[in-house]
């Protein structure tokens, strides 16, 4: 089998070590000859790279490892770019979350004004990486999971229509894993699903086992009572112990899916819909002084960087608490689908072109696709009901307006986008939030007219 050369863009990401461990655990499925890290923050990347070099040396010394901030070095001789950049890093995520909250509006990484602000930063960063790939390795594919994926995907559709980029999200995978476990299956891979929506904005309509038996009734019965929380997590919560599976904010999200489900018991919802359907509940239990960014900095970032420093100092991974990011193995499935034409069925963010029959053909939608050597083939999901269609039309307009605002450097369109967001009450509040975000993002957004 051909051995692949991979660059991880956003080498300094908190997810990088878990993904490297996952890649090394999957070498039989996806052989690798070279792993490169690319980041525009040399210092941050070095901390991760010094540890990953030792990890690779221990587990697969034949793999060549390169860590660089030079685009030419990074993107030359590459088969896949795995991209998870965060333009502005956690310092800006914190502002995306806290600025809207000042006005009583949901502050979230990818939803509402926070997601819009992040989108305005991310578009340029992702396009730049795509351009490097095309310049130095024109046959490569970019597997992108940099957020906000909905806005980034619309930008690449519109501004780089012929590029080999696949946009994917891990939330449906995480939820499907929970669904599977809630009904006693060993893996989500025992399920075949139908799903439609936008990224972080979608619904399952059909879930079957490999024999075609309908699993929806059993999963619905669980979700109706527990959302996507699992029995052992509910027990831990009762005992008031921190669950080993998730931070408190994620436990809230999984539990809240119960209320989201109640609104349309015909389907099973993506967890992110809670921000659009129950925004005031969300604001009520948010702490405007301590948001998810703070939780991540104190938790995942501290742990990952601490462990990396320890590995680098001791020169080995002995006793490390870094874990294989098992659920990131979807990235290997995606790379394999391209490399070996596996025709794996996966949820991807792709141009609609009729997959959702009664919806904008040019919208970037999240639907099941068959993925092969020439990319994704979306599967038709048919017509969708008025409730979902109405919500999606509003949200896709927001996403398209943001991309237009970025392209045209238009203050007006950005104001319209924020106003249009379902979680923003009116144009006055939208303008106040926009003006604060604008001030905070001077260094990152195009200068608006």
Is 169 among the residues that bind Mn ion (CB under 5 A)?
Answer: yes
User: Could you say whether residue 407 binds ligand G6P (CB under 6 A)?
Assistant: no
Judged by CB under 6 A, does residue 15 bind ligand NAD?
yes
Residue of 37, 330, 20, 368 lying closest to 207 (CA atoms): 368
- Which listed residue (35, 51, 85, 150) binds ligand NAD by CB under 6 A? 85
Among 13, 68, 253, 441, contact with ligand NAD (rule: CB under 6 A): 13
Q: Does 296 bind ligand G6P (CB under 6 A)?
A: yes
Catalytic residue, candidates 38, 272, 276, 330: 272
Q: Looking at the chain, how many residues does it have?
A: 449
Rule CB under 5 A: is residue 63 a binding residue for Mn ion?
no
Alpha helices in 353-426 (DSSP H): 386-408, 411-420
Instruction: Indicate which of Mn ion, ligand G6P, ligand NAD, none lies near residue 292 (CB less than 5 to 8 Å, by partner kind).
Output: ligand G6P
- Would you say 71 or 279 has its CB closer to ligand G6P? 279
Decide: is 99 part of the binding site for ligand NAD (CB under 6 A).
no
**Under rule CB under 6 A, which residues in 162-181 are in contact with ligand G6P?**
169-171
Nearer to ligand NAD, 13 or 421 (CB): 13
Contact status: 292 vs ligand G6P (CB under 6 A)? yes
CB of 171 to ligand NAD, least distance (A): 6
Residue 107, burial from CB neighbour count under 10 angstroms (0-12, 13-18, 19+): buried
Q: Which of 108, 122, 146, 147 binds ligand G6P (CB under 6 A)?
A: 147
Long-range pairs for 330-335: beta carbons < 8 A, 24 or more residues apart: 330/168, 330/170, 330/173, 331/19, 331/22, 331/82, 331/143, 331/145, 331/168, 332/22, 332/23, 332/26, 332/29, 332/30, 334/143, 334/166, 334/168, 334/371, 335/4, 335/6, 335/30, 335/80, 335/141, 335/143
CB-closest chain residue to ligand NAD: 12
376 Cβ contact list (under 8 Å, min separation 6): 166, 346, 348, 350, 369, 370
Site for ligand NAD in 43-82 (CB under 6 A): 44-45
The CB density around residue 390, as the number of other CB atoms within 10 Å, is: 11
Question: Does residue 258 interact with ligand G6P by CB under 6 A?
Answer: no
User: Phi, psi at residue 346, to the nearest 5°?
Assistant: -140, 150
Cα separation, 225 vs 255, in Å, equals 9
Cβ distance to ligand G6P smaller for residue 300 or 431: 300
Q: How far is the CB of 398 from ligand NAD (least distance, A)?
A: 18
Confirm or reject binding of residue 402 to ligand NAD (CB under 6 A). Answer: no
Does residue 171 bind Mn ion (CB under 5 A)? yes
Measured CA angle at 209 (ends 207, 210), to 5 deg: 130
Residues 6+ apart with CB under 8 A from 124: 87, 406, 446
Residue 272 is a catalytic residue: yes
Which phi and psi angles does 381 have, rounded to 5°?
-105, 0
Give me the sign of the Cα torsion angle 377, 274, 269, 292: positive
Strands 4-9 and 32-38: parallel
156 binds, among ligand G6P, Mn ion, ligand NAD, none (CB under 5 to 8 A by kind): none
- Indicate if 170 belongs to the active site: yes
Contact positions with ligand NAD (CB under 6 A) in 124-143 = 125
Tell whether residue 22 is a contact of ligand NAD (CB under 6 A): no
Tell how strand 4-9 and strand 80-83 pair up.
Answer: parallel
- The one segment of 128-136, 171-179, 334-342, 401-409 that binds Mn ion by CB under 5 A: 171-179
Binding site for ligand G6P (CB under 6 A): 147, 169-171, 292, 296
Catalytic residues, by residue number, are 170, 272
Query: What is the binding site for ligand NAD (CB under 6 A)?
Result: 9-10, 12-15, 39-41, 44-45, 84-87, 89-90, 125, 145-147, 149, 169-171
């Amino acid at each position: 089998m051909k051995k692949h050369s991979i660059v991880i863009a956003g080498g300094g990401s908190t997810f990088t070590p878990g993904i490297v461990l996952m890649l090394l655990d999957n070498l039989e499925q996806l052989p690798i000859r070279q792993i490169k890290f690319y980041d525009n923050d040399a210092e941050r990347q070095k901390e991760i790279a010094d540890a990953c070099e030792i990890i690779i040396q221990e587990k697969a010394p034949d793999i060549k490892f390169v860590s660089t901030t030079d685009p030419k070095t990074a993107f030359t001789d590459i088969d896949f770019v795995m991209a998870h950049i965060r333009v502005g890093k956690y310092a800006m995520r914190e502002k995306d979350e806290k600025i809207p909250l000042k006005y009583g509006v949901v502050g979230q990484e990818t939803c509402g004004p926070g997601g819009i602000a992040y989108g305005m930063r991310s578009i340029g960063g992702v396009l730049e990486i795509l351009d490097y790939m095309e310049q130095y390795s024109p046959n490569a594919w970019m597997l992108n999971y940099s957020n906000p994926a909905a806005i980034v995907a619309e930008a690449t559709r519109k501004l780089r229509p012929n590029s080999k980029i696949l946009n994917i999200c891990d939330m449906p995978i995480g939820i499907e894993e929970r669904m599977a476990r809630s009904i006693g299956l060993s893996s989500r891979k025992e399920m075949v699903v139908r799903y439609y929506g936008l990224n972080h904005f979608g619904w399952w309509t059909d879930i079957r086992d490999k024999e075609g038996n309908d699993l929806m009734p059993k999963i619905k019965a669980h979700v109706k009572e527990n959302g996507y929380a699992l029995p052992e997590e509910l027990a831990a919560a009762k005992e008031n112990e921190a669950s080993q599976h998730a931070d408190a904010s994620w436990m809230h999200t999984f539990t809240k899916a119960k209320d989201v489900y109640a609104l349309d018991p015909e389907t099973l919802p993506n967890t992110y819909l809670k921000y659009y359907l129950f925004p005031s509940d969300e604001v009520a239990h948010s702490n405007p002084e301590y948001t998810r960014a703070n939780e991540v900095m104190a938790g995942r970032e501290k742990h990952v960087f601490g462990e990396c420093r320890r590995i680098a100092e001791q020169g080995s991974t002995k006793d490390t608490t870094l874990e294989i990011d098992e659920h990131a193995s979807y990235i290997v499935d995606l790379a394999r689908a391209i490399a070996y034409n596996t025709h794996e069925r996966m949820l991807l963010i792709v141009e609609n072109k009729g997959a959702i029959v009664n919806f904008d053909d040019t919208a970037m939608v999240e639907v099941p696709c068959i993925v092969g050597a020439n990319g994704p083939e979306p599967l038709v999901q048919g017509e969708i009901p008025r409730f979902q269609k109405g919500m999606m039309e509003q949200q896709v307009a927001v996403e398209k307006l943001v991309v237009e605002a970025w392209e045209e450097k238009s203050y007006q369109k950005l104001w319209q986008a924020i106003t249009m967001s379902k979680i923003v009450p009116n144009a006055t509040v939208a303008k106040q939030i926009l003006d604060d975000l604008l001030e905070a993002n001077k260094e990152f957004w195009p200068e608006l007219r």
